[in-house]
Structure 1
Amino acid sequence: MVNKRRVILVDDEPLARVGLKNSLKCRHPDFDVVAEAESAAEAWELVEQDGKIDGVFLDIHIQSESERAGLDLAFALNHLVDPPWIIFVTGYAEHALEAHEIHAVGYLVKPLEEAKVDSLLDWIRKNRPVSRQGRISIRHRIKNGLAEYEWRTEFVDLNEILYIHKNKSVNTVRVHLAQGIVLDGINATLATWETQLCQHGFLKIGKSSIVNLKLVRSLISPPAGSEVYKLSFKCGIDELSVGLDYLDKLHKAMKS
């Protein structure tokens, strides 16, 4: 059985959507068009509600919104915990550099050339696994040999994640894995992680941390003269402080 990639088409031109949908159905049936949107706002709602979209074919210039509506949507999608890959499909070539900076996997100019579409989708088959429950992709920053930053995408099982911690810099977090690995510089808010992971056994234990309850070993009572409770993990890595306002919810979650 072929694992299908669940994709959506975002374009304000109905004929463009029909043409691309028919092309995918005939030439690339493993790319399953599960929804269509004629605006960035509608597309954002579809992705948020579904939660399992693998990829987005995205027009940039959506006349009902703005010339940059597609770019703005791509930027927002990249801040999701598990962002879909993005292919820009547009009649304008001048936004190619910005598309690259947003980390789109491809940029196709209308009218589409079948050979370029085939090549790009083959690359996705080889390099972007089909989304499955319990696994997410995390894009984070690392330093290269020139003391500069570059981006890397890791594919991580949820049961590998110990906790997520908010950085001091605005809207970035770091993810601590059970193997002792830390993925840092991730462009997503702690609130976004909490919303998307709460249904998978994760819980916020303070203003700056969300933990994987499946990997928690014990809740440590504070020593004399202190009010600070701490969590320890089964792997023996790290201990985290628990906010007093979060204790009751933590007790209930650990007993359930």
Structure 2
Amino acid sequence: MGSGLRVLAVDDVRAALDELCRLLRGSPEVAQVHAAGDALSALKMIQAEPFDAVFLDISMPGLNGLELASLLAKLSEPPAIVFVTAYDGHAVSAYGIGAVDYLLKPVRAERLADALARVGRITAAGPAHVDVPSGPAAPAPDAMPALPVESDGRTRYVRRGEVKFAEAHGDYVRLHTSTGVHLVRMPISRLQEYWEGSGFARVHRGFLLALDAVRELRSDSVGGMLAHTDLGDVPVSRRHARELRDRLLKAAQRGELRGRGG
């Protein structure tokens, strides 16, 4: 197998991540093991350097394992995906995404060896298509186009385009949409990392605003600024005011402020 496999292990539970890394490092097929404690960190690592395989937990806050795998499948040369999870109910979805294997925790050494053998065969075969166009590099996968929202034991997905603004609420964010307010367990700083490059701006310590939701900018009673949306006014701190004006102007010049209907 040449120099061996370069793998990335992803799990938000530190003990589980450490154990998975220990098992992988003890496998003769593996040359290098890297670790990530969340899906966004893993995505950045994969965009920065190549991996032969990603051993991926499914249940993680924010971007879960299935969503990350769907993003990775869009890469020109995606790594092999092996899911490592405590739940067997996602196997159909996992294989539908193109997973190489699906391991249940606690991982047995013989099952891990089987998975690594499959990864090795895929790696040795090389990419299915070698005629990669010589044009500009493919864009990075879109991070978090929708957020899972738990309600009454059911999960629904709120699309980024539905959200007018997000409001910090402790370790949660409130997503304000035309159909209601949805609570998601995620700090607003993490949501900013996901969405700031997709038409959202941090305008206040507690608010993330969709640029195309802004109808007008107003002054409040104490000389501050408010961004008016169809769902109400969003406070804009002084340190963010100029940046917001600049981004709105540039977006308007590019024709990106057509607005989103309720």
Q: TM-score, normalised by structure 1?
A: 0.53
The alpha-carbon deviation at position 187 of structure 1 amounts to: 1.8
Alignment of 1:171-210 (within 5 A): 171-177=171-177, 179-184=178-183, 186-210=184-208
C-alpha displacement of 1:132: 6.7
Counterparts of 2:233 and 2:38, CA distance in 1: 40
Seen in structure 2, the aligned counterparts of structure 1 residues 190 and 249 have a Cα distance that, compared at 3 Å, is same
Give the length in aligned residue pairs: 174
Spell out, residue by residue over 1:182-236, the C-alpha distance to the aligned partner (whole angstroms, 9 max, x if none). 211x12111111122111121111110000102211101234xx22321112xx2
- What letter is aligned with 1:212? A
Deviations 1:27-46, CA, capped at 9 Å, x for gaps: xxxxxxxxx97343498643
Matched residues in 2 for 1:192 and 1:237: separation?
23
Q: Which residue of 1 aligns with 2:165?
A: 163
Q: Give 1:152's aligned residue.
A: 155
Structure 1 Cα separation of the partners of residues 187 and 37 of structure 2: 22
Contact 1:221 1:230 (C-alpha < 8 Å) held by counterparts: yes
Residues 190/222 of structure 1: CA separation in 2 closer, same or farther (3 Å cut)? same
Query: In the alignment, residue 103 of structure 2 is paired with which amino acid?
Result: L
The equivalent position to 1:47 in structure 2, one of 43, 49, 57, is 43
For residues 30-87 of structure 1, what are the alpha-carbon distances to aligned partners after superposition, in whole Å with 9 as ceiling and x for unaligned? Answer: xxxxxx9734349864323457xxx9643xxxxxxxxxxx7xxx67xx233x333287
CA gap of 1:50–1:182, structure 2 versus 1, over 3 A, is farther
Distance 1:183 1:227, change over 3 A: same
Residue 253 in 1 paired to residue 256 in 2?
Answer: no
Quote the offset at 1:161 in angstroms: 1.6
Equivalent-residue separation in structure 1 for 2:197 and 2:191 (angstroms): 11
The 8 Å contact of residues 9 and 56 in structure 1, kept in 2 or not, is answered as yes
What is the CA–CA distance in structure 1 between the aligned matches of 2:249 and 2:236, rounded to whole Å? 16
Q: Does 1:140 align with 2:149?
A: yes
- Check 1:9–1:17 CA distance in 2 against 1; reply closer, same or farther (3 A cut): farther
* 1:159 maps to amino acid: G
Is 1:56–1:85's contact at 8 Å kept on the other side of the alignment?
A: no
Gaps of 5+ in 1: 1-7, 19-35, 59-69, 91-95, 115-130, 145-149
Q: What amino acid is the match of 1:47?
A: L
Equivalent pair of 1:137/1:153 in contact (CA under 8 Å): no
Distance 2:38 2:66 in 1: 14
User: Which one-letter code corresponds to 2:61 in the other structure?
Assistant: H
1:227 and 2:216 matched? no
Kindly, what percent of the aligned residue pairs are identical?
15
**Contact between 1:201 and 1:213, CA under 8 Å: does it hold in 2?**
yes
Change (3 A) 1:38 1:175: same
What is aligned with 1:127? none
Code of the residue aligned with 1:38 in structure 2: it is V
Could you tell me which of 70, 90, 95 is aligned with 1:105?
Answer: 90
- C-alpha displacement at 1:181, in angstroms? 2.3
Aligned to 1:79: 61
* C-alpha distance in structure 2 between counterparts of 1:9 and 1:137, whole Å: 24
TM-score, length basis structure 2: 0.51
Q: Aligned partners of 2:155, 2:36: CA distance in 1, in Å?
A: 28
- Whole-Å Cα distance in 2 between the matches of residues 17 and 231 of structure 1? 58
- The code of the aligned residue for 1:242 comes to V
One-letter code of the match for 2:162? E
